[in-house]
Copies of this chain bind each other. A is one copy, B any other.
Amino acid sequence: MSTVRNILFIMCDQLRWDYLSCNGHPHLETPHIDSLAAKGINFTEAFVQSPLCGPSRMSFLTGRYVHSHGATWNGVPLSVGQTNIGDFMRPFGLRCALVGKTHMEPDKEGMERLGIDRMSHLGVQTEQCGLEPVERDDGLWPDKLVDPHYAYNKYLKSKGYDGDNPWHDWANAAEGPNGEILSGWYLDSNHLPARVKEEDSETPYMTGRAIEFMKEQGNNPFLLHLSYIKPHWPYIVPAPYHNLYGHNKILPAVRSERERENPHPVISAHMKHPESLNFSIDEVRNNVLPAYMGLIKQIDDQMGRLFSWMEAAGRMADTLIVFTSDHGDYLGDHWLGEKEMLHDCSVRVPMIIYDPDSAADKTRGTKNETLVESLDVIPTFLDVMGGMNDKEHLLEGKSLLRTLRGDQKSELRDAVFAEIDYSFKPARKYTEKQPYEARGYMIRTRLWKYLLWEGFEPQLFDLNSDPNEFNDLGRSPTHSKIRMELHERLFHWLRTRATRTTISEATVRQRTGGAPKTGIIIGEWSPDETIKGDPESGYWVE
């Protein structure tokens, strides 16, 4: 009997896998996140299915690859036909709730086509990817988009922060020498403290909302997706977090001159974006990275607050906790900014899982190099709650429960896959591609990373001899065999996708050869002789 009654699924936004002390950052101490790792398993080889908020999160929240769910970029709606985390988990009696960000874009056209009232309970559930929006906040509120009902702005106003959009003017802006508002969108002000008081900034606010939810929930079981907006843009953090880290604490960009010499056309196009040009300038990094690290440090402190509340409330004893991120951040590595390409700093994420059940005692505090995909999260949740519920045909990941409980004998997988649709970026124009062809695919094993770029040569990296991914072997004549092998594996992966979504594997098995049971008789000669001239054949029933 499992002790797990609740699930807390914590996600950060744009948190690199290696910006935690438990994952080796030499200057950024994250003792509270580390404490979760000490209680659980730290999966050090975890990957997302796309290095961008929307598609990555839709993979986390549906358990399906981007090719299968179709929401390939931010703002691309998740088809109403996709099954979501709420659909999977509610049957176990969990209240499935959201505090923070999902980047879910509802399929309004599909909903209209199917007559789903957006204001109904079901409509809200469908629009929110199956999660009750206790607090939905995607954290990007420029003046042009700000919602007059936006809850965090209401909170800020109630605390006396003025203006129409205190999210921007206080929480995501600094102040100039003459009191002028310096927008946190611009990197030049990221070294300054945000104008908001620390306790009123987004990360503590969301933590408070999560604690309130759990209080309200009492002993009623829940799945809570606590999904922080930070350390994502705007890179700005209130005092004292804004200047905890001096320039000597900033790790140098992982980049090589060689990468600029004859870059792959898709990489080259991305190098032309402003974020890449700016993050390639050391003074910009020096301005921004202390804020990025400060935002993470603030999250860590909030994890301390959250976990001690949970400890006191008894929730650490009955709650499975996942701590992860939706993707990383280039921060100037490889002469790139943002995410969206497929280097490890972008597709690799922290993945710490704490299982309170005593069956997991033998794995506590271990690091685990199993290749993990974001797709594994929902199967793990299903498994810990009692089973896959006949949903394997929809889910493309694997449960980590046996690993958590030390019972996984064989390798879970030997490769992970990711995809990117860069058709919304200027890079598409630079590369002269049509929207449907601006696509890239990754297969990454322990030893190799192969990237297929539609319409271009592939890229290949030897992760063993070149863990920094500096040396692109995409055109290396001596590597054609491994390229062909990985290319074929990508094809195999694509052609075995879970596209048959409306019928379970078990039902298929049951029905195989089962037509005669329905009375539909195909191709038999007579009631006595299935095959003409062969009386023995009369017994043919599959």
Contacts and interface: CB of A to CB of B under 8 A. Distances in A.
B502 A454 contact: no
Contacts of A120: 115
B278 A531 contact: yes
A384 to B, nearest CB: 23
A337 interface: yes
Oligomer copy total: 2
Interface string A126-160: 10000000000000101111000000000000000
Contacts of A281: 531-533
A523 interface: yes
A481 interface: no
A503 B79 contact: no
Nearest to A121: B115
Nearest to A337: B523
Contacts of A67: 495, 497, 499
Contact of A113 (B83, B109, B521): B83
Contacts of A87: 113
Contacts of A110: 81, 502
A49 to B, nearest CB: 13
B500 A76 contact: yes
Interface stretch (A38-46, A313-321, A510-518): A510-518
Interface in A193-235: 233
Interface string A370-399: 000000000000000000000001000000
A435 interface: yes
A344 to B, nearest CB: 21
Nearest to A281: B532
Contacts of A513: 424-426, 429
Contact of A523 (B140, B338, B499): B338
Interface in A434-460: 434-437, 439, 441, 452, 454
